[in-house]
Structure 1
Amino acid sequence: MDGEPRKQHVISKALLRRFSTPDEELISYDLRYGKSRPRNLSAVAYQLDFVAFEAHAAERLWGQVEDDLPRALNALDNGQLFETPGFVETLKGTIVLHFIRRQMVKDLANERQAFVREKFFTRPDLPTITDEMKSDLLEWFDGQLAEAFSENLREMYLRALADAAQAGLEIWTAEIPLVLGDAAILTSKGSEIGFVPFIEAGSHALPVGRRHLIALGPKNAVGTMPAEKTRELNRQQMRQAKSHAFIHPDDNRSPFINDAHAEYLRRRPPLVSE
């Protein structure tokens, strides 16, 4: 892993900038403790070693989407997005990227890795080995799993891109400010929201700014999102977030702040200390 980037943003900086001031400051709201504080966008929404094997290759894989995203968002702001088909595909790719690069995906892979390790090293037919041999074997074992995760991520990304290319892109303008949770994308299948396979989902929705949300749909469309629908989406961002939500400083007194912590605690036990 020498030379590979370890600090990897799971939410694109181009999206985080849409919730920040010109000096790249946003409000990071910690749902676990009900506390918020200003942070630079470089200090939030990242994970060390999300892709631990050939991270540079992963960044090259979705690099075109990341590189084109700022211009696509400018076209969106200017009402010219659908005049440039390439930018439409960029925003579809942005939905795919944030579906693939969710913390939930990594957590499931970590759970699987822990399960496989436990099963392997508790096998009754495993010969007695020294601690040094076990350490070497664990290192090799984890390397193999990291390589498998990287390859699986690549395959998931390419399959989802192909699926998204067949869909339309919906652009929604919200009547009240949107919130960006650290899971970012909301994927649903019927009434189920959470980890749904990409092709099986009925909806993929992603806030791309304080007033804009994009989603995959049957055809290209533009619409206005009423305040109550926006509030419900903000609540869903709270429910799906792992621990944090991100808000523009001007929106820090939005009504959702008052119940976001309580919403989080309904599904997770309170923590007594940091």
Structure 2
Amino acid sequence: MATAQQTSRQHLISQVLLKQFTMPGPRGSGWQLLPFDLRNPGRLHKLKSPRACGWAENFVAFDSTSAEELWCAVERRAPAAFSAVHAGIPFADPLHVAALRDLVVLHYVRSHHYRDVHTGAFERSRAGLVGKLISKFPEQLSREALRETGLHLSDPGSLGAFAERLIERSSVVRDHKSGKLFRTSIEDTFYKVRAMASRWGIEVLTPERGQFLIGDNPAVTIRTEGDTTTYGMAFGDAHALVLPIGPRHLLALGPQNVMETVPQALVERLNTVQVHAAERYVYMHPKSGLQEFASLVARQRADQ
């Protein structure tokens, strides 16, 4: 049943969000934006539709229906909220503020970054469990090994290997391999982060000059100290959680609701964060003129 309900091509960046970076393509080809491959900055980058960008294969690999329904509940409220931003009245309706905040949280959780954090945490817990079993339950492990294999295991290496076999057969590991554990985790984390973010306001930033671009890990935690901006820290340690929502607007969860015009230097710093935080691609308006900027930062990123 789970396989039948599965949606294989899953957008990590909402199509409604990517559309904000588009313009009509040539000869009736529909709305298009420019994807930029950070691993191959010198290649010829061709325009594509929002549908062809910002997706991952089987991101939620187990019964994605419930996750898709949750994402859709957030995304269907975005167009009206975007219209309010474009009209300069994003705070006139509390429902628009909530929709924008939820969109930021959605893209923070539904991301390559979150999947990497989840996988890393699981593997660390799994490795730690082996150590705990060896140190705290060596006799029980030895008896179980004797019962299952007929071998008397006593040294840490052989007990560790047997402990790994036991853990491998556990329901938790099976759920991890199937993707069930990740689906549950990503949904639970969305609700948890949304509750934390409900105490934050929405800052709507507009460039004094230039445009914003958006990466494929688009919602990024940042801390700013003077002219230095760092990114990727835990949500609770961040000064803001930012998400570009178009060439002329970027959202930041911060202390209060405010609309603000920001200088080009800050726009470039925020765009640099998008490039460095990205998995592989950044996306931009076809007439943004940001290809050279993305190429330069991509090469700096590769040298780090």
Q: Tell whether the 8 Å contact from 1:75 to 1:81 is kept in structure 2 after alignment.
A: yes
Give the number of equivalent residue pairs.
261
* 1:148 has 2:185 as partner: no
Residue type matched to 2:37 in 1? D
> Paired residue for 1:181, among 209, 215, 225?
215
Deviation string 1:6-51 (CA, Å, 9 cap, x unpaired) is 1111111111001112322111111111132222221221111211
Alignment of 1:116-265 (within 5 A): 123-125=160-162, 141-145=173-177, 146-174=179-207, 175-189=209-223, 193-252=230-289, 255-265=292-302
Two-structure CA RMSD over aligned residues (Å): 2.7
Q: Residue type matched to 2:79 in 1?
A: P
| TM-score in terms of structure 2 length | 0.77
Letter in 1 for 2:232: F
Q: Which moved more, 1:205-214 or 1:151-160?
A: 151-160
SS in 1 for 2:247: coil
Whether contact under 8 Å (1:10, 1:102) holds in the other structure is yes
State the structure with more CA Rg.
Answer: 2
SS in 2 for 1:81: coil
Query: Does 1:49 pair with 2:51?
Result: no
Matched to 2:221, the amino acid is T
Deviations 1:96-136 (A, max 9, x none): 0111011011123344556678898x9432699xxxxx9xx
Residue 67 of structure 1 and its aligned partner are, at CA, apart by 0.6
After TM superposition, the score normalised by the length of structure 1 is 0.84
Aligned position for 1:94: 103
Is residue 74 of structure 2 the alignment partner of residue 65 of structure 1? yes
Letter in 1 for 2:82: L
The percent of aligned pairs where both chains have the same amino acid is 26
Determine which of 32, 42, 55 is the counterpart of 2:39.
32
Gaps of 5+ in 2: 25-29, 131-158
Unaligned runs of 5+ in 1: 129-133, 268-274
Letter paired with 1:147: K
Rounded to whole Å, the distance in 2 between the matches of 1:139 and 1:166 is 37
User: Could you tell me how far 1:150 is from its partner in structure 2?
Assistant: 1.6
